Every structure is written in structure tokens, then in C-alpha cells.
Amino acid sequence: MTRAVVLARHPEGAVVEQDFDVIEMPVGDCPAGYFRTRNRVISLDAGFRQWMTAGAGDNYLTGMQVGDPVQSIVLGEVIESHHPDYPVGSFVSARTAWEESSVLDGSDLCSALIVDGEIPLHQYMGILGPTGMTAWVGLHEIGRPKPGETVVVSAAGGAVGTVVGQLAKSEGCRVIGLTSTREKAQWLEAEVGYDRVIDRETQPHLANALSAAAPEGIDIFFDNVGGNALNIAMGQLREQARLVLCGAISQYESAVEPLTNSWELITKRARMEGFMFSDYVESFPAIAEDIRARLARGEVKSFDAVYHGIEQTPRAFCDMMHGISRGKCLVTLD
Ligand SMILES: NC(=O)c1ccc[n+]([C@@H]2O[C@H](COP(=O)([O-])OP(=O)(O)OC[C@H]3O[C@@H](n4cnc5c(N)ncnc54)[C@H](OP(=O)(O)O)[C@@H]3O)[C@@H](O)[C@H]2O)c1
């Protein structure tokens, strides 16, 4: 038998632990062309909340069904193999599910991982994995920062936000974060290296706080949040600004808010562009190498909230969604 977390019901509004069940299930067959993993690290990714809602599903992924293991990106160690590319003892990263063991065929964002024993395994799901790739691609490929520019990052205290802030800082930018609480803001300034952080707790009027923090306007808005925060940022751009649409977490659990400041993009000659990190798979080895070198130089750090055991996965996911965890939220299964 093995254990998995299934969707007990479709979340309505804020996701809660009761939306999930931990179940035991029989170990499935592993036929020719497939391999079996013992899963070691589960990545908790906000984007998957989108596909938990009843009737969800789009051009990127189908919606999750009640009773099915919850989709996620997972790091696994191959323990049985009938696939030439994934021998026993190797490590893989794949989009599979919150489960202790998976049977895979090498498709669906599956790639072999060369693991360095000096690096904590969970970092391959965080700063050296999908999170780091997302931050790097969004900032460098879409945002294209230049020294001296002002970069504003929403959900600054989360997985992607902590990496983007550090990367932008190392490019010589002035980096401003948006977050939930004053405590998190202080941590982001003191530990992560943000120049200034605006929190919703003590500075609820974002437009005023942002114009005070960036009086010359914003060059790059790296947006993880969407809705009202994005709309306000759209109204405070410098000429030739770039808006990097990475995520829209404020809209995943509530009604979609309208964007009314699009005229500003025209007069400021701004560019607004969305992206999916998975479109840049071929660049991942080079990006991972760049981030590894920055980690070794001490230019960036990995900030992780690590939970232990499959039964902690629902709590970890809810904590991540609602700003309780800091940095990258992960579950280890050792
Ligand atoms: N485009 C891509 O390829 C791609 C890939 C990965 C992730 N993403 C997106 O990137 C974003 C961050 O994902 P992540 O996995 O790294 O999650 P995360 O940032 O670690 O966690 C989500 C954070 O969002 C903030 N938040 C939650 N509700 C909010 C609200 N109503 N308004 C403002 N902020 C809110 C909270 O941080 P605070 O306490 O700091 O507010 C929370 O901790 C998500 O939107 C996700 O969909 C996109």
C-alpha cells in the first residue's frame, strides 16, 4: 500500500485542510515503458489552486476531480524501472501528484535530475527547480532588468517572490516588495534584501504607499497577485515599463477584479506579458547552473518552509496559499 492526498471536495473560496483526504491505496503496476518513484519532496505551488475549483480547466491543464490525487510537481527517486532513460537510483522531477509513490512514463514535465549531495534535496524543487526557473525566466526573459531600475514584486515573501527580489537586487536594481504583514515585511528587508516592503496590514492604501516608495515610478512590476494590486501598479509606471504577469493569486479564491488602467500602458509605451515557466524547459540546465553559481557566491539564498510527511501536505498548501509560510513551501517524505 502507498498513501496519497486526494481532493475530498472542490474548494470554495479560501482552501481549507478539509478539502483534502489522506488515503491508502494499492501500489499500481509498473509496465514496460514506465518507472516507479519513491517520492522524496513535494512542491506546493499556488498555481494548482486554480485547477482545484469545480469546473476548472483551461488550455494548460484539465481541472482536478474529486477523489483524484492532487496534481503537483514532485521530486522522486526511481526504485523500479522499465524505461531506459530513468534507471533505478536516478532522480526525477515531474508533474505528478501528492503521493508517496508514482508510476511515470517520462512525459508531463518529467526530467532527470543530477543531484549534488552537498545541496539539500528539497532545493531542487525550490530555488534550483520550478520556483527558481519561474523567477529567473520572468525577470530576465520578460522583465529584462537594467541596473538602477525600480522593480516592484508582489507576493514578495513567497517562493517566487523571494527569488525574484534577490535576483533583481543582484542586477543592481532598487527592489520594492508587496506582502501581507509588517512582520513579513521586516523579514524581507532584513533577511532577503528587499530595499523596501509595503505590507497590507499597516499600509492598506497601496496607491499612496507605492507612490511614496517609488516616486519616479515603476520600471518592472513582477506580478504574482493580479487584481487590484496590478491595477494600481499599472497606474504608476515609468515610460518603457515592463509588467511581468507571473500569477494572479488574489483572484484564485475570489471574484475576478477588473483592470481599469490600461490607457497608462499606452501613454507609457509599456509592455505587459504573461508567461508559463514550462515553455522554457530547454533553458533550465543553464538557468539552474546560473542560480547554483549565485548560491555558491552567496549572492542569493534559499528561503524554505519545509514540512514533513504526506499527512502535512494539506496544511502546508493552505499555509502557503494564505501567507503563513515564508519562502518556498515544501513537504519532504523521508
Ligand atoms: N507563470 C508561471 O509559470 C508560474 C509558475 C509558478 C508560480 N506562478 C505563480 O506565481 C505566484 C506565486 O506562486 P508560489 O507558488 O511561489 O506561491 P507563494 O508566493 O509561495 O505563495 C503565495 C503567496 O501569495 C500571497 N497571497 C496570497 N493571497 C493573496 C492575496 N489575496 N493578495 C495578495 N497576495 C496574496 C501570500 O504572500 P504574502 O504573505 O507575501 O502576501 C502567499 O504566501 C502565484 O500566483 C503562482 O500562480 C506562476
pLDDT of residue 295: 96
Residue 333 alpha carbon to ligand 1 centre in Å: 23
Residue 108 pLDDT level (bands cut at 50, 70, 90): confident
Q: 80 pLDDT band (50/70/90 cuts)?
A: very high
Q: Does residue 175 have its Cβ closer than 6 Å to ligand 1?
A: no
Q: What is the pLDDT of residue 288?
A: 96
* CATH of 130-278 among 3.40.50.720, 3.10.20.90, 3.40.640.10, 3.40.630.10: 3.40.50.720
- Protein residue closest via CA to atom 36 of ligand 1: 323
Do the bridges between strand 271-274 and strand 237-245 make them parallel or antiparallel, or are there none, so unpaired? parallel
Q: Which alpha helices (H) appear in 69-221, and where do they start and end?
A: 130-136, 159-170, 182-187, 206-213
Grade residue 141 by pLDDT with cuts at 50, 70 and 90.
very high
Per-residue pLDDT at 9: 98
Instruction: Give the pLDDT score at 298.
Output: 95
Cα distance between residue 10 and residue 67, in whole Å? 10
Query: Where does CATH 3.40.50.720 sit in the chain?
Result: 130-278
- Give, in order, the Cα–Cα distances in Å from 257 to each of 226, 228, 253: 8, 7, 12
In ligand 1, the atom with minimum distance to the C-alpha of 179 is 40
Nearest by Cα to 111 from 332, 247, 283, 296: 283
Q: Is the pLDDT of residue 219 over 90?
A: yes
**SS3 (DSSP) at 51:** helix
Residue 231: per-residue pLDDT: 98
Ligand 1 pocket mutation pick from 122, 164, 224 by most atoms within 8 angstroms of CB: 224
Tell me what percent of the residues of the chain surpass a pLDDT of 70. 100
Nearest CA to ligand 1 atom 42: 323
pLDDT band at 334; cut points 50, 70, 90: confident
Mean model confidence pLDDT for the chain? 97
Supply the Cα-derived Rg of the chain in whole angstroms.
Answer: 20
- Tell me, in angstroms, the distance from the centre of ligand 1 to residue 155's CA: 5
Among 249, 276, 304, 321, the mutation site with the greatest number of ligand 1 atoms within 8 A of its Cβ is: 249
Flag whether pLDDT at 165 surpasses 90: yes
Q: What is the pLDDT of residue 63?
A: 94
CA-based end-to-end distance of the chain:
17
What is the pLDDT, as a whole number, of residue 272? 98
CB 173 within 8 A of CB 153: no
Long-range contacts of 288-296 (CB under 8 A, 24+ apart): 288/128, 288/132, 288/133, 290/136, 291/127, 291/128, 291/132, 291/136, 292/119, 292/128, 294/167, 294/170, 295/127, 295/128
User: Residue 8: is its pLDDT beyond 90?
Assistant: yes
CATH superfamily of 2-123+303-332: Medium-chain alcohol dehydrogenases, catalytic domain (3.90.180.10)
pTM of the predicted protein model: 0.97
Question: Where in the sequence of the chain do the CATH 3.90.180.10 domains occur?
Answer: 2-123+303-332
Kindly state the average pLDDT of the residues 110-139. 96
Q: What is the dihedral of CA 140, 182, 124, 24, to 10 degrees?
A: -130
How do residues 220-278 score in pLDDT, each as one tens digit? 999 999 999 999 999 999 999 999 999 999 999 998 999 999 999 999 999 999 999 99
Checking if the pLDDT of 296 tops 90, the result is yes
